[in-house]
Amino acid sequence: MRYDIFISYRRKGGYDTAKHLNDLLARDGYKVSFDIDTLRNGDFDTQLLTRIEECKDFILIVDAHAFDRTLDPDFDPQKDWMRCELAHALKLNKNIIPVFLSGVSSFPEYLPEDIAGVVKKNGPEFSHYYFDAFYERLKSDFISSKRHTIIEKRTTNKYVVGSLFSENGKQGVVVEVDNSGLHGKIISLEQGLQPWTIDKKEAKRYIGLSNMYEGFSNTQAIKQITNWEYKFPAFSWCAQFGPDWYLPAYNELRCLLTNKDVYSKVNNCLKEVGAPQLFINPWFWQISKHYCSSTEDIQGKIITLVDGVRFKAFPGDAGHLKDMECAVRAFAKF
């Protein structure tokens, strides 16, 4: 198999974004070299070099610590895989597209000579909140490879709201679907009880997760925070199911819980498969039965939903205190 696009990243800090881009680009007809950890054994593998040589485009995921090893004089350059990949791509004059993640706007100073040329490269402005716009610009203005014709593999598995989804190890109940019946969103079969955060500082500050419609974007923003898996239990609970799963935004929950037809169909499917059902008419004061969204209000609290309509945790408040436990369901796109 010949590849079009090579994605280079640090596993800690860049994996989730790289995986998401890989899935989207593969879906859209590009041949992407992404899952390369199996090639990173011993010396810098010639097969890895060959993949870079095949590709026209080289996407470089730059997180806040991407070049820490590179700038460490005590770290062996031959074991700095991302540096080796980038140096080879520069040497071959590949179309290098840097993607700067949250908190990063440029390359660090004093990069080694073999990769210093990367500072002249440009890429689309990355945003968790406007990810769709970023992705479309990446394809239209920066990627030079041509898309391949896609033969739709899933021609018989058309879904409706309330269907059980089970493909490639991913399971859930369909809560949203497009007109084709082939793409939509699912909710996890499992249900958890988690606080949004257990970190006292994060509980008091406004992080900026204002996206009301895309929980995936909110979740990606959380993943840029150091030790997010420990600090944000509700988000890490959702992520345990895989990199595509996320804590839903307010409107994603609202569309599920306020539409009686959707609510009923989803609950019927959950009941049929023996999974925990969505709460039905809990008391307002039962905080543990408020569903947690990934969306913050301007006060730095989180917006929750209870009994399908109300989303105020307390009279006069717009949101839920971040360190209080509430119900969690994970969402994923298919």
5-14, 106-115, 126-135, range with the lowest pLDDT = 126-135
Q: ∠ CA(233), CA(161), CA(187), 5° rounding?
A: 10
For 230-257, the pLDDT digits (tens) are 999 999 999 989 888 999 998 898 888 8
Give the model's confidence band at 312: pLDDT under 50 very low, under 70 low, under 90 confident, else very high: very low
- pLDDT score of 14 more than 50: yes
Residue with the bigger pLDDT between 128 and 320: it is 128
- Contact criterion met (CB below 8 Å) for 282 and 320: no
Report, as an integer, the average pLDDT of 218-227: 88
Domains and CATH numbers, the chain: 5-142 (3.40.50), 164-333 (no CATH)
Q: What per-residue string of b and e applies to 96-118 under the rule 16 or more CB within 10 Å gives b? A: bbbbbbbebeebeeebeebbebb
User: What pLDDT shows up at residue 208?
Assistant: 83
Report, as an integer, the average pLDDT of 180-190: 92
- pLDDT score of 59 more than 60: yes
- pLDDT score of 57 more than 90: yes
Q: Which residues contact 85 (CB under 8 A, 6 or more apart)?
A: 6, 8, 48, 52, 58
User: What pLDDT shows up at residue 4?
Assistant: 93
User: What pLDDT shows up at residue 291?
Assistant: 86
- 3 state DSSP class of 291: strand
- pLDDT score of 322 more than 50: yes
Give the model's confidence band at 154: pLDDT under 50 very low, under 70 low, under 90 confident, else very high: very low
Look up the pTM and report it. Answer: 0.57
Report, as an integer, the average pLDDT of 39-59: 76
Report the C-alpha gap between 311 and 289 in whole angstroms: 11
- pLDDT score of 306 more than 80: no
Provide the strand spans (E) within the chain: 5-8, 32-33, 57-62, 95-100, 164-167, 170-177, 184-187, 192-195, 291-296, 302-305, 325-328, 331-333
In percent, the amount of the chain with pLDDT more than 90 equals 45
User: What pLDDT shows up at residue 98?
Assistant: 97
User: What pLDDT shows up at residue 153?
Assistant: 47
CA proximity to 18, closest of 171, 141, 126, 116: 126
- pLDDT score of 152 more than 80: no
